[in-house]
Amino acid sequence: MFCVKRMGMVLSVHRYVRISMHCICYIANEGYLFQTLLSAIQARARTTISQCDIIILDMTAQEGRESRIIAEICQMESIIYAWHDPRLLNGLHISAARLLLDTMLPPVYTEILYLDGDIQIVGDLDPLLLLKPGPGRIAGARDIMVYLEKLGVPRPEWQANKTNTGTAYVNAGVLRVNRAEWADIGKAALDLIEKGGPLSFFDQDAINKVMGSNIDHVSMAWNFPGFMLNSGIEHKIPPVVVHFMSNPRPWEGSYLPWGRTWHLPYLELMKRYPALVPYRKKLSPYYFLAYKAKQTIAYVRDGIWRSSELANEIMALEKSVVA
């Protein structure tokens, strides 16, 4: 049985855990469980490794009806669900929870693929799962800001906090880690956070500062920015994992640049499990139309995402990836 501690009591989570080495792990809380569930179901369908569990760690303050519904659906979908007390974070944002995976996961899992919940999976995950980062290293895909920096058009927040990692800087939404190594890395990153200092991207910056250049870089295909769909780059680097890391998100509506294609899976999930309908974040008609207009204007205006210069920078660094 998979047991977690809640307010001094040990509760068994009604999920059977096999003897396993690999896991694909998500962390979510109230308001983010719906989209995380979709990604976890896709992950379950996109790996053939028999000894690999899909796990959702729920850090909602109190297990209410939403958590219970998610837990029930997880059981039907062969996904492990476990609740963890958010007080474990000592007041930090939930994104810091990925630094505590060694504390939160049962010790049987030695190889971990961490995924953010705002992700859709459209290809085979096995190559990334079977990739073993080198000693003292992690595997991840470069953040899009790396390429903007090389083009001389960095975002203000990037300028405000130079990480001094150059082209090594990775996005923390998809991380392939070894459990023993990650325990030390997570602790070092938490120490940086607790000391304060400039961290524009919080735990992502802390991870990159701890790792420096000790990163095995994987293709953008494993962490493809959703706002770059229909940029043309998806034809050069066919996405396996698509990360919707900026607002609006596809569960909110069929906006550019993804349209109905990437919105539809959320509608189909609600059709399959109607109990989820109240927990899908939905914009009011006013904001829906406002976002529609905003996204259309942005798509026309932000030509940088469709520029040959950006594509060239991305493809140049793609030559050095390990997977």
Q: What is the 3-state secondary structure (H, E, C) of the chain?
A: CEEEEECCEEEEECCCCCCCCEEEEEEECCCCHHHHHHHHHHHHHCCCCCCEEEEEEECCCCCCHHHHHHHHHHHHCCCEEEECCHHHHCCCCHHHHHHHHHHHCCCCCCEEEEECCCEEECCCCHHHHHCCCCCCCEEEEECHHHHHHHHCCCCHHHHHCCCCCHHHCEEEEEEEEEHHHHHHHHHHHHHHHHHCCCCCCHHHHHHHHHHCCCEEEECHHHCEEHHHCCCCHHHHCCCCEEECCCCCCCCCCCCCCCHHHHHHHHHHHHHHCHHHHHHCCCCCHHHHHHHHHHHHHHHHHCHHHHCHHHHHHHHHHHCCCCC
Q: Do 27 and 118 form a contact (C-beta atoms < 8 A)?
A: no
Which residue in the block uniquely carries the two structure tokens 């999920």?
15
Any idea which architecture 1-323 has in CATH? Alpha-Beta Complex (3.90)
Euclidean distance between CA atoms 89 and 5, whole angstroms: 14
Q: What is the 3-state secondary structure (H, E, C) of 212-240?
A: CCCEEEECHHHCEEHHHCCCCHHHHCCCC
pLDDT on residue 297: 43
Q: Could you tell me the end-to-end alpha-carbon distance of the chain, in angstroms, rounded to an integer?
A: 35
Euclidean distance between CA atoms 123 and 256, whole angstroms: 22
Q: Beta strand 111-115 with 170-178: parallel, antiparallel or unpaired?
A: antiparallel
With both helix axes pointing from N to C terminus, report the angle between 202-211 and 179-195 in degrees, rounded to the nearest 10.
120
Per-residue pLDDT for the chain (323 aa), expressed as one digit of tens each? 344 433 332 333 444 455 558 999 999 999 999 999 999 999 999 999 988 999 999 999 988 999 999 999 999 999 999 999 999 999 999 999 999 999 999 999 999 999 999 999 999 999 999 999 999 999 999 998 888 877 776 666 555 554 556 789 999 999 999 999 999 999 999 999 988 766 778 899 999 999 999 999 999 999 999 989 988 999 999 999 999 988 788 998 888 888 899 999 999 999 999 999 999 876 555 455 555 445 544 544 456 777 888 899 999 999 999 99
pLDDT on residue 158: 57
Q: Is the peptide bond before 225 cis (omega within 30 degrees of 0)?
A: no
pLDDT on residue 241: 98
Tell me the residue type at 300.
Answer: V
Q: Domain locations in the chain?
A: 1-323
